[in-house]
Amino acid sequence: MKNPLRAVPVVLSLSLGIVFCSTSFAQSEAERLTALKARVAAMADETEYVEAITRIQRLGHAFGYYTDKGFFGEAADLFADNGTFQWGVDGVYKGKARIRELLTRHGGGSMKEAPGLPFGRLNLRMQLQPMVTVAADGRTAHARWREWGLLGEYKKAIFWGDATIEDSYIKENGVWKIAARQYYLNYEAPYQGGWAKLAPVTGNWQSAVAKEFPPDAPAPLQYKPFPAVFTAPYHYADGNLTAIQSQPPVDLPKRADDKLGKLEAQADAKQLQLARTHSVRAIENLQAMYGYYIDEGQWKKAAALFSRQGSYEFGQNGVYIGNASIERGLSLMGPQGLEEGQLNNYVMVQPIIHVSEDNRTAKARWRSDVQLSRAGTGGWGGGVYENEYVNDNGTWKFSNLHYYVTFWGDYDQGWGAKPIPVSPPSKDIPPDKPPTVVYQSLPKLQVVPYHYVNPVSKKPHAGE
């Protein structure tokens, strides 16, 4: 994997430069002032970079809240004037007016009686798991998203929806907008039977909407939906790791006890605080990136996101240590790249991320809802991660990933009527160590230990 230029390498270079120069000869005040000015300018760039990630997350989330409730014009307004929307294999729709009508038709709304939805219509489209890469110029960006849909009509027909989204964004007059959305529909599966009972698609599978409302251009990529194996192209397929990078850890230098030294020390503190907020976003992206690789059975790529001494523990399968061993542990979920009919959706949501004071390590709690399919049988799952991360010279990696299974359940009967016990360690691909915690899944329930105290009262979790 190549090591691309980071978006904001200047801050580190400056820190090193200061150390180098200051050990060579004493700095004059003017020199120190020049260095401080350059450092503050670099911090301004980095602040804008982290803000961009949050704005893009906001755009995606806002889109979901609009489409949920039939505000399709407002959703289309999130696009640039010449923005485009590629819907599955249907084709590409160009411009806000066309995008509005596209969303209205797919969501069951009305172009006249808008915004809103008619009685009985459900169009909940949750926008999850953003993996945001902002370009070095700070003017364009890309993101991968997952859409999880609860769709259909009361007393008529209802569906689960699943799609991967690859967006590009543009910043115009200081405002981030969606420039192009590629919406890769994976399935709209009837509730009864679910995704596991879907038959392979043959021939043209353009939607009914496309037939009545033809696109402005054909789709640049043809593919078959689930149960076929399809991986939506990654915008980071070239190995660009910018999204999971922040500042490398640095030791805070001692500053002179003068006016300028106080300012230098103030800048040091702000710089560290900024680096830690940057790291939060890098860790969000890392977890999302890992999730998308798991979805697609990309065990090697997922294992490469761990540090060399990293460890991986899933349910009661035991602990796998080191990248090669972790790859073997991941392969318990299926063959590399998965097979037709296998679904392995691990939705990465609800992060609680704490970066250490020195920006060298981090811990995070996450949750996965799991949608599975193996050999025509569907399943649901849910569980909690308590993970640890390490800042490896500016690139965040997993040092320990630990997924605690809350439940597995049969799709047709549900987890209530038919919970499935958590599986023991594999005999074929044995772990390096036994499980660190022994527990049972639903119907048994237990609290997964928190890496944090109560965020408001600061009390530890005890006695409940």
Partner 1 sequence: MFNRAMKFAAVMGLFCAATAQAATSDADLKAIEKQLNTLGDRITRLQDLTDVEIVQHAYGYYVDKAQWRSLADLFDDDATLEIGGKGVFLGKDRVFEYMNIGMGGGGPMGPKDGSLIDHQQFQCLPTIMEDGKTAKARCIAFVMSSGGWGHNYYEDTFVKEDGVWKFKKLHGPFNMYAGYRQGWLDSVTVNTFPEKFQPYPDLPPTVIYLTYPSYYVEPFHYPNPVTGKPMPAPSPKAGGLAFGK
Among 282, 365, 389, 400, binds partner 1 (CB under 8 A): 365
Report the alpha-carbon distance of residue 239 to residue 45 in Å, rounded: 23
429 is a contact residue toward partner 1 (CB under 8 A): no
Please identify which residue in 334, 382, 430, 434 interacts with partner 1, judged by CB under 8 A: 382
Task: Verify binding: residue 450, partner 1, rule CB under 8 A.
Answer: yes
Q: Check binding of 261 to partner 1 (CB under 8 A).
A: no
Amino acid 27 reads: Q
- What x-and-dash track marks residues 35-74 binding partner 1 by CB under 8 A? xxxx-x--xxx-x--xx--xx--xx-xx-xx--xxxx--x
Distance CA 242, CA 240 (A): 6
β-pairing, 306-314 vs 395-410, is: parallel
| Distance of closest approach, residue 253 Cβ to partner 1, in angstroms | 16
Residue 63 or 234 with smaller CB distance to partner 1: 63
CB of 40 to partner 1, least distance (A): 5
Q: Which is nearer to partner 1, 119 or 203 (CB)?
A: 119
Binding residue for partner 1 (CB under 8 A) from 15, 86, 127, 359? 127
Q: Which H or E element spans position 418?
A: strand 418-419
For residues 59 and 196, which CB has a smaller minimum distance to partner 1 in the complex? 59
Taking CB under 8 A as the criterion, which residues in 406-425 touch partner 1?
A: 406-407, 414-417
Q: Is the peptide bond before 115 cis (omega within 30 degrees of 0)?
A: yes
**C-alpha span between 94 and 217 (Å, rounded):** 8
CB of 454 to partner 1, least distance (A): 5
By CB under 8 A, residue 204 contacts partner 1:
no
* Residue 13 lies near partner 1 (rule: CB under 8 A): yes
Q: Tell me which residue of 399, 396, 397, 380 sits closest to 388, measured CA to CA.
A: 399
83: its two tokens: 């923005």
Under the binding rule (CB under 8 A), the answer on residue 443 touching partner 1 is yes
464/456 Cα distance (integer angstroms): 17
Q: How far is the CB of 28 from partner 1 (least distance, A)?
A: 5
What are the φ/ψ torsions at residue 302 (nearest 5 degrees)?
-65, -40
Find how far residue 22's CA is from the centre of its chain.
42
Q: Are 36 and 272 in contact (CB under 8 A)?
A: no
The answer to whether residue 456 forms part of the interface with partner 1 (CB under 8 A) is: yes
